[in-house]
Chain A
Amino acid sequence: MLFNPFSKEAIKKFIKLKKIPAEAYNLAIRRIEHPRVDEKIEDKIDAISLYLILDAALLYGKNSREVHFAKKIVSLIVLDRVCRCISKSFKHGEYDADFISSILSQFLEIKATKELISENEYRVISCTTAEEKPYFAIRWTYLLEGEFKITDFYIYRGYAFIGVNALTKIIKTLIEKNVDYYISTRNVLENRKLVEIGNRISLKAKDLDFLTNFISRLTPTAKKTFGFSLESRNLRQEYFPPCVKKAMLGVGAGLRNYAITMLLTSFISYARIAPTGARKNAKISDYIKDITIVKEEILPIIYKAAQNCTPPLFDDQPTEKMNILYHLGFGLTQEPRLEDSGKSKWYFPPNCDKIRRDAPQLCEPDEFCRNIKNPLSYYVKRVSREGIEVEGIIERIIVSNMGGKFRIKAKLRAGDRNFFIIAKKGAIENLIPNAENMEEDELGKLIEINLVGKRVRVKGKKAGNRIIVKKISEV
């Protein structure tokens, strides 16, 4: 199966086809209209449809919003496919490193760690070097691609031993690099079919809900790797108000500073750190004790949105990065430090009427905006109403009868996180028909057989690392 349609070999093989198959055009359109990331398609059609999406976007220029959008969609499709394969290989608490290495060799030089070192050495580094098991050995130079500290890894004879999380981050960077390379080398000639795809891309790039819907279909690992999986970090992007979503997709030249520095910076920081608001003159260090929340959770979202602007905000205004930190209350600095928190004011998100006045283009209210006065209240209201949705594998059933009442308590593994889910009989109706009417002993056995090892999506309310589940459905 083709995992990397943007490898030099794949491009060479498919791009020179004299006639582009009609299925490829159709698939490109389908991928723009109703993205399904897990389709099984012939390699040739799959690769060409992705090239067509990028080629069509290129008709609008290399730095256009359409190209930014197409790059994102294409990269997500490729990464999601990789993530699905990785999570499918997870069995009995272990990843199949040989299998994963074989599919990812389309992207980089990779081996299973056990191939390089003895069983004993592997055991030592598995329990000592990293938070995640270092299943894979890659050339150490790949670590330079991402934002890794190479001192955090065990590097041996030219290979770095890494786990699944670091690996997917590296794969993401490589996909983006490959896609960028593809774009930089293309000279696209206009034709009717390409224009048609381009028109659809242009429309979708402006559609606020499209990307949100698309992202919601991705695997949790792909979401997390792209910085979209905000639920695990207490941020739920799908519940952001329309003005914030619009700012995140990137805006044009006249609106950039307001959208990124004034609105997004304040909104993301408060939504993550103090969603229900803060007392007057509060500073970030009153709420957090670890600056990595700012560096790794808040700033990347803001910087990504700044990059999505046309032209990218920091390209012509590099000092705006300092301004963003100033608005977060760190004073004029290039590096946020907790001890600097309070040197300037931590700006609260502007009220809706102010946004309507200062940046009317951002304000496109939806049905939840009624009676909302501030974007932050919109977010809090929606999060509290909607609860949480997590996809993962049920690793074990802990108990199926709690305190005399029939309740299932189970351990759910979602990517690198574990949750404990608690569900009533009714929640498993989809998986075990007629569960509501069954005897408890009989149901207990069926639960063990039918749920353990299964990939499910659970929906419910979160309380710490527990989820009180209303519905469990199979994925």
Chain B
Amino acid sequence: MFREASPEERKRYYEEEWKEKDIPDFISTTLSRREFGFDYDGSGPSDRYNQFHSVIELKRILKEKYPYAVFSSVAFYDNPKKRSGWMGAELVFDIDAKDLPIKKCSCKSGEVCEICLEEAKEVVLLISDALKDHFGFKKVRYIYSGRGYHIRILDEEIMLLGRSERGKILDYISCSILPKRFDIDFGYPKLFRDRLLFLLKYAKEDNFKIKGIGKVKIRRIMKEKRKIANEIEDGEFSTLRKILGGKKFENFLQFTTRINAETVDAKVTVDVKRILRLPSSLHSKVSMKCIEIKNLEKFDPLRDAVPKFLKEEN
């Protein structure tokens, strides 16, 4: 699992397994407005500024060149070949399991495993609730990217937002700002508390490198984790406050905002001309399919996103 695909395997994938209908509707219906990029050897998308007027044209390239990776833009252009005439862009959140700042597993940074993929999915579920319940987004699509998840919002009202507006939404969604109050059972304070619970659930002792808070205090926090979590759920912080005291408690909360900020790749969200891995394409670095997820809760990447050539091998 998670090994690099050979050129033969890529060829087999695009010839035998890849289907036109695997491209999600939201991309196939807007294909001619998007920029496409290709990576042929694993060194990054060197061939950019491509435009396809139909899926047939794209299919021909995929079957002829079986690229290492395929990308399409989140932006829509009047002329994608020149990336000119920007008409808007989807709002995207990228949660990469390989880059999660806190991991329960022993994966090194840049690696993924079943456990951290599950952690990434949990973050996606938390974010997804906020996107729908708070912002009222109706067109939210989830993509398994091969080593993590993309959340793509297609609602009209966000299409024309610029970098700074997208940044503000990111701050909210990633919980990278301290709420004014913590003790409210809805809205941002509740979302922030949920992320704090998530952190406590997955963090290990050595993850907490916080200015002024030594190992003894962290050990006490870990020991009383369950009690602290129960209190946080009720909007209280008495045990945590008692262990840390005023200033250190603030440092602890600031630390959580930093961790939260690192969980979602900010560059992807604020970039209004970003290209993302094309759903239906192969992530050749780890031999996983990048696919649209129909049911996020039931989705299991190791069951649903493994290409045939790898399934047969196992």
Contacts and interface: CB of A to CB of B under 8 A. Distances in A.
Nearest to B187: A154
Interface stretch (A35-43, A145-153, A238-246): A145-153
B52 to A, nearest CB: 32
Given A140-B135, A150-B172, A156 B161 contact: no
Contact of B171 (A129, A139, A150, A159): A150
Given A144-B161, A144-B165, A144-B168, A152 B136 contact: no
A150 B183 CA distance: 18
Interface of B (DSSP majority class): loop
Contact of A141 (B157, B184, B188): B157
Contacts of B169: 144, 150
Interface in A40-98: none
Interface in A103-152: 124-125, 128-129, 139-141, 143-144, 149-152
A152 B171 CA distance: 11
A155 B184 contact: no
Between B136, B171, B177, the greatest number of chain A beta carbons within 10 A of the residue's beta carbon is seen for B136
Contacts, number: 55
A159 B136 contact: yes
Contacts of B137: 158
Contact of A156 (B133, B179, B181): B133
B180 interface: yes
A155 B157 CA distance: 16
Contacts of B202: none
Between A124, A144, A152, the greatest number of chain B beta carbons within 10 A of the residue's beta carbon is seen for A144
A151 B181 CA distance: 10
B179 A155 contact: no
Interface string B142-166: 0000000000000001100100010
Contact of B188 (A144, A155, A157): A155
Contact of B180 (A125, A140, A152): A152
Interface in A387-407: none
A153 B179 CA distance: 9
Interface in B85-136: 133-136
Contacts of B186: 154, 156
B165 A151 contact: no
Contacts of B133: 156-157
Contacts of A153: 187-188
A158 B169 CA distance: 13
B154 to A, nearest CB: 15
B134 A149 contact: no
Interface residues of A, number: 20
A158 B179 CA distance: 19
Contacts of A152: 180
Contacts of B134: 140, 155-157
B179 A151 contact: yes
Given A128-B184, A129-B187, A149 B136 contact: no
A149 B177 contact: yes
A154 B168 CA distance: 14
Interface string B177-195: 1011101101110000000
Nearest to B166: A144
A149 B175 CA distance: 12
A42 B134 CA distance: 42
A309 B137 CA distance: 41
Contacts of B165: 144
A156 B187 contact: yes
Given A129-B181, A141-B157, A157-B133, A149 B171 contact: yes
Contacts of A124: 184
Contacts of B188: 151, 153-155
Interface in B75-91: none
Contacts of A128: 181, 183-184
A155 B191 CA distance: 11
A158 B135 contact: yes
A154 to B, nearest CB: 4
Contacts of B161: 144
Between A140, A154, A155, the greatest number of chain B beta carbons within 10 A of the residue's beta carbon is seen for A155
A155 B181 contact: no
B168 A149 contact: yes
Interface in A426-467: none
A236 to B, nearest CB: 31
B168 A129 contact: no
Given A129-B187, A141-B157, A156-B186, A151 B177 contact: yes
A152 B187 CA distance: 10
Contacts of B136: 140, 157-159
A268 B180 CA distance: 30
B135 A155 contact: yes
Interface of B: 133-137, 157-158, 161, 165, 168-169, 171-172, 177, 179-181, 183-184, 186-188
Interface of A: 124-125, 128-129, 139-141, 143-144, 149-159
Given A150-B171, A154-B187, A158-B135, 19 more contacts: A129-B187, A141-B157, A143-B168, A144-B168, A149-B171, A151-B172, A151-B177, A151-B179, A153-B187, A154-B184, A154-B188, A155-B134, A155-B135, A155-B172, A155-B187, A157-B134, A157-B136, A158-B137, A159-B136
Q: Which 8 A-B pairs have the closest CB atoms?
A: A158-B136, A154-B187, A144-B165, A155-B134, A151-B177, A157-B136, A151-B188, A128-B184
16 contacts: A128-B183, A140-B135, A140-B136, A144-B161, A149-B168, A149-B171, A150-B171, A151-B171, A154-B186, A154-B188, A155-B135, A156-B134, A156-B187, A157-B133, A158-B136, A158-B137
